[in-house]
Chain A
Amino acid sequence: MFEALIEGIVNLSSPHSLMLLAAGSVVGLLFGAIPGLGGTTAVALLIPLTFGMEPWQAIILMGGVMAATSTGGSISAILLNTPGIAPNAATTFDGYPLAQQGKAGMAIGAGATASALGGVIGVISLVAVIPIMKAIVLLFTPPEFFMLAIFGLCAIAVSSGDRLLQGLITAIIGLMVGFVGYYDVTSTVRYDFGIPLLEDGIKLVPALIGLFAISEMINLAVKGGSISESASDVEISRISDGVKSVFKNWSTMVVGSGYGTFIGAVPGVGGTVAAFLSYSTQAQRDPTPDIEYGKGNIKGVIAPESANNAKDGGSLIPTLAFGIPGSAETAVFLGVLVLHGIEPGQKLLEDHQDLVFTLVVALTVSAVFATLVVLGLAKYMALLTRISVHMLIPTVTVIALVGAFALNTEIGDVVIAFIFAFIGYFMIRFNYPRVTFTIAIVLGSITELSFHQSMLISDDDMSIFYTRGLSIFLLFLTILSLAFPTFRRKMKERKLAKEEAEQ
């Protein structure tokens, strides 16, 4: 493991690698700061640039993007009350009031430092888990893989806010998309409807480019206006006070990072839930604060920011160990790995530990680098959020389509990207989660393969899924995740009844 870590550091130490990392971090910061774009769009758009790269170079570039996105998102959350990406939403509660009180610099300093430290803690947790990851993966045979995929899909569906039904439907449609094309278990081409383009299946990269990058542009075009109307002429000073406040409130940062790592490791739950939970826990831990939460308490910035960056390390645990993405961003990142011939799971952990550690080092360095950039250039980054959508839409759309084409230099891929752009737009329009859809597409083939292998092992006896220890545990987790919305509703009803009784 130590050798792999050294190799990871060596991979990152060349000037070319550092340039890639810096470029990835800057793109991540910019896409994170501009509301409506986000890290998934950035990773999807950059995929074509990695085609000619070595796998470790592609990993460095993507690691840079992933680690920097939520740091960038905190700028618009604090200055404009508009989170750059969803996980920064909890930062607005105290970040924006601080900005209104003339303490924007302090909030940005605290947010950026908490992000960096949270990111580093998340990555350290990932490193700590790597040695036992191999042993855990070996416990999984096809029935367990099948149940894990089903649990992952249900957890992701449940995590899509208050739309469980839509989440489940989207997961199923995503699985169906994953069935299209050549099925190597039986050497049959299925659901291609005689269209040659579909014979090899829906190509993941053009589909993701359409689903995230172009669909967002269509949505922006329909909505119109500028990305943010708010003025951002805020005085940014006292950044160092913010940096110091994180060290002063180190326990808030550590607890937030713990939430981020732990929740990030649950497929699909992601940074938003981690940030909100971290924020509410902080508010509960501190019942008599000096400054009320929601009115500019600096701990209300530190808690969510440390959580949403720590989740990067956590969400890579299921991605690298089982090929089950922890978030949309890691789903697209998984596409990058597959594109470069890297198969997640036991093989990756045994044969390509150097790549895993290259990613670990890239995430760590990028988290720190992005923070330094934010601390230095916060004022100018805030201006980005005022870019007119009419400048963004044509340029991003064209570059995305060129990227979709560049994968196989096939014009059919442009059509795939175009079709998925519309699917993505309608999912935004009718509030169906694209994250669930994406992860289901990725999981489609793994799920079916594990199902078939399980049927072969058991001689077509379905009881194999609920008679083995680990399978039963995963089945229990699946039921628990599906029951979660009902449990939450009951809690809400009870709380309301209690409040009414008190009145």
Chain B
Amino acid sequence: MRIPEHRRPSAYYILIILAVVILFIVTSYQYKITDRMFPLMVGYVAVPLLLLDLLALTDSKIGEKISVFFSAKTPKEVDEDADPTKRTLGQELLIFLWMGALVLGIYLIGFLPCTPVFVYCWMKYRGGYSVKESAYLAIGTIVFVYVLFELILQYELYPGIFLYWYG
């Protein structure tokens, strides 16, 4: 009973959820019975379902039976219907880094400087647009954000932790 190579990312995903559920169950025991009763019931239902989901990924008879029982499809049919987009880990990590940099940038220097920088860099380096096109969209976005949120709705946008420290 083994999990084929192409289904392993799904298996890792299930294992991560399983770890979270186990952490949830263990944590539940530190609360009073009234506080933990319903969450524990829910947690304990999750464990067998996750194990079944994991088993359904294997190329075994039982895996096929579970898959067919819950989805009316064999694991092979599920594979055929899967999103054909090729996603590499490197590609995903790169996008996560871009998004992480944006959130870190917002935390450090605030929304107003970070917004045009992020839009410009994305357009220029990921979209391959010219300096002029990238600058236009960056300026357009920051003007939209500033006018809508700061002027019309009168929110004070987060200025960044640096400004808090030095301001």
A and B found bound together: yes
Interface residues, chain A, with chain B CB atoms under 8 Å away? 48-49, 51-52, 162-166, 168-169, 172-173, 175-176, 179, 183, 185-186, 188, 190-191, 193, 214, 218, 221-223, 388, 390-391, 393-395, 397-399, 401-402, 405-406, 409, 411, 414-415, 418, 421-422, 426, 429-431, 447-448, 451-452, 455, 485-486, 488-489, 492
Contacts of B118 in A (CB 8 A): 394, 397-398
Contacts of A488 in B (CB 8 A): 72
User: 5 closest A-B pairs (Cβ-Cβ)?
Assistant: A390-B127, A489-B72, A394-B122, A162-B71, A165-B70
Query: Considering the chains assembled together, what is the distance between the CA atoms of A221 and B153 in angstroms?
Result: 30
Query: Considering the chains assembled together, what is the distance between the CA atoms of A394 and B137 in angstroms?
Result: 10
Contacts of A492 in B (CB 8 A): 72
Q: Select one of A51, A190, A398, A489 contacting B68, CB under 8 A.
A: A489
B124 (CB) vs chain A CBs: closest residue: A390
Query: Considering the chains assembled together, what is the distance between the CA atoms of A268 and B54 in angstroms?
Result: 25
Structural contact, B126 and A390, CB atoms closer than 8 A: yes
Structural contact, B111 and A393, CB atoms closer than 8 A: no
Structural contact, B38 and A448, CB atoms closer than 8 A: yes
* B17 touches A (CB below 8 Å): yes
Query: Considering the chains assembled together, what is the distance between the CA atoms of A402 and B118 in angstroms?
Result: 13
Query: Considering the chains assembled together, what is the distance between the CA atoms of A186 and B37 in angstroms?
Result: 12
Structural contact, B50 and A395, CB atoms closer than 8 A: no
Report whether over half of chain B's contact residues are helix, strand or loop; otherwise say mixed.
Answer: helix
Structural contact, A186 and B32, CB atoms closer than 8 A: yes
Known: A169-B53, A398-B115. A411 touches B106 (CB 8 A): yes
Q: Select one of A186, A222, A405, A411 contacting B35, CB under 8 A.
A: A186
Residues of B77-135 at the interface with A, using a CB-CB cut-off of 8 Å, are: 78, 81-83, 85, 87, 91-92, 95-96, 98-100, 102-103, 106-107, 111, 115, 118-119, 122-123, 126-129
Q: Select one of A179, A409, A431 contacting B39, CB under 8 A.
A: A179
Write out, one digit per residue, whether chain B residues 6-37 have a CB within 8 A of any chain A CB (1) or not (0).
Answer: 00011001000100110010010001101101
Query: Considering the chains assembled together, what is the distance between the CA atoms of A409 and B24 in angstroms?
Result: 30
Contacts of B53 in A (CB 8 A): 165-166, 169
Structural contact, A402 and B71, CB atoms closer than 8 A: no
Contacts of A455 in B (CB 8 A): 37
Structural contact, A165 and B155, CB atoms closer than 8 A: no
Nearest Cβ distance between residue A119 and chain B, in whole angstroms? Answer: 29
Query: Considering the chains assembled together, what is the distance between the CA atoms of A193 and B45 in angstroms?
Result: 22
